Amino acid sequence: MEEQTPQPEPSLFERMRKRLTPEGVPADDRGRMRMVMESLILHIHPAKVETTSMKWTYTWGLGGLSALLMTILGGTGIILINNYTPVAPQAYLDILEINSNVWFGELIRNLHHWSANLLIVVTVLHLIRVFVTGTYRPPRELNWLIGVAMLLLVLGANFTGYLLPWDQLAYWAITVGTSIISYVPLIGQWLTQLVLGGPEVGANTLLNFYSMHISFIPLAIFGLMSYHFWRVRKDGGLTIPKSSKQTEDPKPERVTTIPNLTNREMIFALSWTAALLLFSMLVPAPLEGIANPALSPNPAKAPWYFMGLQELLLHFHPLVGAIIIPSLAIAGIFLLPFFDLNLKSVGVYFRSQRGRALTVLAVGIALIATPIWVLLDEYLLNWTLWLPTWDTLISNGLIPLAVIALPLILLDDRIHKIFQADTEERVLFIATFLFTAFIVLTLIGIYFRGPGMNLYLPWNMPVVVH
């Protein structure tokens, strides 16, 4: 008698696994490519990638690292929310509690803190990488705009998060940082009132910043991030780098995304996670005494990434230093892809050999010129004293701005005439110069400004004790 051997019923676990995860990675290229095509997550990659765009030294993995950091920030942030009350002074007590009475509390907070700071550095480096390789040119202008918007949002997220520990460091950095808002013409006072929820940083500010920090800003970043990834694919994937000597496109070699790209991404993410984890275990995030509105530290400094702005404020009329220059800078960054259009050099670092030389030259000049100008303005130039009857907006704002802009324009003109630099190389030169100058100003602000915002050498920094 023939007995039908009953097929063993697959276990519950087996059925779940079959339904939810693919049955192993296919052994053939076609199967792997289909796997990418059919997966929503993997679909941010093409089925095949060019080997040249996978080189570490082309992208440095900066975009991926930003995404990894955002993920870490989201994860640690959710844990922190559960241990935090956005009410002064309970907020500070909660941070003490997280540090001293929550398992892994300090580690989570350190991870969140250092990831957030690293994120700023990484997103700025990502912007620089895209700029120097000129990959924001058509058809990628829109993605450049999204990227710059995300950089601004990241700065906003960092700034709103800075206040949340409610210690002296947070309170006064935010007080200094938000004082910049009041220089906005016409609506400055009203805007400050709106952002702070009152005349000065207080309990309402903490709540405002907390709400922005945990809802609007992360949501906006998440939305824009998805859009950013999608546009990378829509715009034809990563630009293919060409060595500057090659004139025509060689047929690029392509390999399957699985395992070539996914492996690398996994290794990259693991290494950075390990590095961040170890760093956070060893270096605690700063925490000072509870916020005390009656006791301002000397000097009161903004968060480190705004120290370049604060340094500008020391040299210019507030309207120029805090509003006009930053607005022009942001507008310039937004507009870059619309007047720097040469498609031939897309994907080439520094555009050309001349571009590379000009970049080097710009960095060198800015390294010398910026400290000299800071010293001159600190100790010798005194526009308001020399032009006592003039409005300070002109005497201490527009005149120094013109004095700085004029040599820059002349320099640009010389470079154009003598070295026959074209538009894309001139854009590279000017932007490199201004960016280096801004970095130098930031470093001066962080390390060389002491009590009364006077200049001191870092190892001679006086400490004002209350």
Partner 1 sequence: MTERNNMNPKSHLIESLIGLGATMLIAAGLGWYMLNEPTRIVSAQQEVLAIQLDEAMTLYAENCAICHGLNAEGIGATPALNNPALVTMPFEDIQKTIARGRYQTAMPAWSLLDGGPLSDYQIDELVLLIQHGDWAETGNRVVNLGLAPLVPFTTEADPALLEQVGALPDGATLQTAVQLFAANCVSCHGADGLGTSIAPVLNDEDTRAKTADELTRTLTYGNTGTLMTGWSNTLTPEEISALITLIQRWQEMPLGTIPAPNVPIPTTEESIALGSQLYATNCSRCHGPDGQGTPRAPSLNVQSFFVDRSDQAIQQIITSGVPGTAMPTWGDRMTEAEIQAIVGFIRQWESTAPEVATLTRPGGGGPPWRNNSTATTQTTLFGLLPINTTNPTISTHANGSTQTSTLLDWRILLLLGILLASAFTLISKGLHTLARLKR
Which residues of this chain interact with partner 1, rule CB under 8 A? 27-29, 51, 89, 92-93, 96, 99-101, 103-104, 106-107, 253, 255-256, 259-260, 263-264, 266-267, 270-271, 273-274, 277-278, 281, 289-290, 292, 353-354, 356-365, 367-368, 371, 375, 379, 418-420, 451-452, 454-457, 459-460, 462-465
- Specify the 3-state DSSP secondary structure of 299: coil
- Closest CB to partner 1 among 281 and 335? 281
d(CA 99, CA 104): 8
What sign does the dihedral 226-274-62-77 (CA atoms) show?
positive
- Closest CB to partner 1 among 224 and 290? 290
Taking CA atoms, 25 is separated from 15, 35, 49, in Å, by 18, 8, 18
d(CA 52, CA 56): 9
- Closest CB to partner 1 among 155 and 365? 365
> Taking the complex as a whole, how short is the minimal distance between the CB of residue 251 and partner 1, in angstroms?
14
> Taking the complex as a whole, how short is the minimal distance between the CB of residue 324 and partner 1, in angstroms?
25
> Taking the complex as a whole, how short is the minimal distance between the CB of residue 377 and partner 1, in angstroms?
12
- Closest CB to partner 1 among 47 and 333? 47
Omega within 30 of 0 (cis) for the link into 165: no
> Taking the complex as a whole, how short is the minimal distance between the CB of residue 72 and partner 1, in angstroms?
12
- Closest CB to partner 1 among 152 and 375? 375
- Closest CB to partner 1 among 139 and 289? 289
d(CA 463, CA 466): 10
DSSP notation for 97-123: HHHHHSTTHHHHHHHHHHHHHHHHHHH
> Taking the complex as a whole, how short is the minimal distance between the CB of residue 199 and partner 1, in angstroms?
17
d(CA 256, CA 254): 7
Continuous segment of H or E residues that includes residue 386: helix 383-386
> Taking the complex as a whole, how short is the minimal distance between the CB of residue 431 and partner 1, in angstroms?
15
